[in-house]
């Protein structure tokens, strides 16, 4: 790395993380390397064969989100499975697949799976609009797996928390409306599960500064201030194995978890990933599991050898897969990871294998 690059990088590191250049002295020279250097490898242990892995079957075509129904079954919409292929204009079918046996069951629902939570509640979208993204004219259904669904109206200005699978209002337009038009107590809410309360972000102007304080409002109305910003709903999940809500965040930030007492737990990215993010080699995000955060790292052009899935475990940082993965879905027990994995160089003319992969990071049977 040239002296000028070193100075610029040190300034970025100091401004972004309150750190000094000395924090990265051991790996600073690695920024220009396309391959993993010995200095970078010293920050993790290769564990590519430590945990059981399997590719999801290619007998199905996934046309929706793929979600865990329990610790063994996935649910998704498809236009193809053994014995059936959708004809032109035919709606997708929603099926469950046993990932251990590759057996599938047609659940009897038609449309696109929009949401499925740990309580087996789901939301389905049946496209009927002439314009693809015209949500108002599509048909929407909610209910529980195995039961008849109820048709509901699409609601503008709403979102769907992943753990409720129901429409929830965004709240006051605190990010888009002019200040003079906002009510005195302008706020937005993120509803939690029944009996857990809500998260409330209030918009205030104080001491000539605009603030967005976040609070956890318990079911009894008690307000607990949270030293965190309002989580993005699309990255905010409920973890049944420990009763916490987890927000995935990128490697230039710290993912957080919030429990129902209003305590905030932070998961700072490992030093190596902070360095990679700043040196524009690789980016990614952290996801919560029973065994510790899993970091899905996708490398930039020519840096693909530095990508992979990394488990931040009790014994240190483990690289459990060397293919890139933009995100992860975690099973109900917190043990199985579902990730889209691209092996090798994404930009190569002839790419290596890519697809959905399941990795079990817990000892067999321990958390079944």
Domain boundary among 156, 189, 220: 156
The secondary structure of 31-89, three-state, reads HHCCCCCHHHHCCCEECCCCCCEEECCCCCCECCCCEECCCCEEEEEECEECCEECCCC
Q: What is the per-residue pLDDT across 341-357, written as a single tens digit (0 to 9) for each?
A: 999 888 787 888 888 99
The pLDDT assigned to 18 comes to 42
324 lies in the same domain as 360 = yes
Indicate the average pLDDT of the chain. 88
307-340: per-residue pLDDT in tens?
999 999 999 999 999 998 888 999 999 999 999 9
CA distances from 282 to 63, 65, 275 (A): 28, 25, 9
The answer to whether residues 111 and 17 belong to one domain is no
Domain assignment present for 194: no
146 found inside a domain = yes
- In this prediction, residue 21 carries a pLDDT of 55
The answer to whether residue 302 sits within a structural domain is yes
| 206 within some domain | no
53 in the same domain as 83:
no
pLDDT at 19 over 50: no
Domain boundary among 104, 123, 156: 156
Distance between CA atoms of residues 296 and 286, nearest Å: 6
Residues 38 and 125 in one domain: no
From CA 128, how far away is CA 119, in angstroms rounded? Answer: 28
Query: Do residues 112 and 26 both lie within one domain?
Result: no
Query: Domain boundary at 131, 156, 181, which?
Result: 156
pLDDT at 206: 75
Q: pLDDT tens for residues 107-143?
A: 999 999 999 999 999 999 999 877 777 788 899 999 9
20 has pLDDT over 70: no
CA distance 167 to 158: 6
Give the pLDDT of residue 281: 74
Q: Note whether 103 and 88 are same-domain residues.
A: yes
Predicted local distance difference test score (pLDDT) of residue 53: 93
Q: C-alpha angle 357/65/62, rounded to 5°?
A: 65
User: Same domain, yes or no, for 92 and 120?
Assistant: yes
Summarised one tens digit per residue, pLDDT across range 149-192 is 999 999 988 999 999 999 999 888 877 777 778 888 888 999 99
State the residue range of the domain holding 339.
1-58+269-368
pLDDT tens-digit readout, 206-244: 777 778 899 999 999 999 999 888 898 889 999 999 999
278 and 333 inside one domain? yes
Tell me the percentage of the chain whose pLDDT exceeds 70: 92
Confidence category of residue 368, pLDDT binned at 50, 70, 90: very low
Find the helix or strand (DSSP H, E) in which 159 lies.
Answer: strand 158-159
Q: Give the CA dihedral 58, 63, 68, 71, nearest 10 degrees.
A: -20
Residue 37 maps to a domain: yes
Is 173 inside any structural domain?
A: no
Task: Looking at the structure, tell me whether residues 277 and 361 fall in a common domain.
Answer: yes
- 363 versus 9: the higher-pLDDT residue is 363
Q: Which of 58-67, 68-77, 87-96 has the lowest mean pLDDT?
A: 58-67
Segment holding 237, helix H or strand E? strand 236-239
pLDDT of residue 134: 76
Residues 81 and 122 in one domain: yes
Q: Are residues 94 and 127 in the same domain?
A: yes
Say how many domains are in the chain: 2
Task: Please compute, for residue 14, the number of CA atoms within 13 A of its CA located in the half-sphere on the CB side.
Answer: 9
Quick one: 68 and 150 in the same domain?
Answer: yes
Task: For residue 274, tell me if it sits in a domain.
Answer: yes
Residue 178 lies in a domain: no
């Amino acid at each position: 790395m040239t002296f000028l690059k070193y100075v610029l990088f040190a300034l970025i590191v100091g401004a972004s993380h309150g750190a000094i250049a000395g924090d990265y002295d051991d790996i600073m020279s690695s920024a220009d390397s396309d391959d993993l250097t010995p200095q970078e490898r010293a920050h993790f242990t290769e564990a590519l064969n430590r945990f059981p892995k399997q590719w999801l079957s290619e007998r199905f075509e996934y046309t929706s989100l793929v979600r865990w129904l329990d610790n063994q079954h996935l649910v998704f919409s498809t236009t193809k499975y053994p014995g059936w292929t959708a004809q032109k204009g035919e709606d997708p079918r929603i099926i469950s697949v046993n990932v251990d046996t590759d057996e599938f069951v047609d659940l009897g629902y038609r449309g696109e799976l929009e949401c499925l939570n740990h309580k087996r509640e789901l939301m389905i979208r049946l496209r009927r609009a002439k314009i693809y993204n015209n949500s108002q004219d599509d048909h929407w259904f909610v209910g529980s797996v195995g039961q008849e669904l109820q048709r509901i109206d699409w609601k503008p200005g709403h979102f769907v928390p992943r753990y409720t699978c129901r429409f929830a209002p965004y709240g006051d337009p605190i990010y888009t409306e002019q200040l003079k038009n906002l009510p005195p107590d302008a706020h937005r809410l993120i509803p939690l599960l029944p009996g857990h309360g809500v998260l409330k972000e209030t918009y205030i102007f104080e001491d000539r500064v605009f603030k967005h304080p976040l609070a956890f409002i318990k079911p009894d109305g008690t307000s607990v201030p949270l030293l965190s910003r309002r989580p993005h709903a699309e990255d905010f999940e409920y973890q049944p194995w420990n009763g916490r809500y987890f927000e995935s965040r990128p490697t230039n930030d710290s993912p957080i978890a919030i429990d129902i007492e209003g305590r905030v737990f932070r998961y700072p990215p490992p030093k190596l990933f902070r360095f990679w993010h700043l040196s524009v080699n690789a980016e990614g995000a952290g996801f919560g599991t029973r065994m510790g955060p899993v970091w899905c790292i996708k490398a930039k052009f020519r840096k693909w050898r530095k990508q992979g899935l990394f488990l931040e475990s009790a014994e240190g940082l483990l690289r459990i897969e060397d293919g890139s993965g933009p995100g992860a879905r975690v099973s109900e027990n917190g043990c199985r990871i579902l990730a889209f994995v691209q092996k090798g160089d994404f930009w190569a003319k002839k790419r290596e294998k890519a697809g959905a992969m399941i990795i079990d990071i817990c000892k067999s049977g321990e958390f079944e």
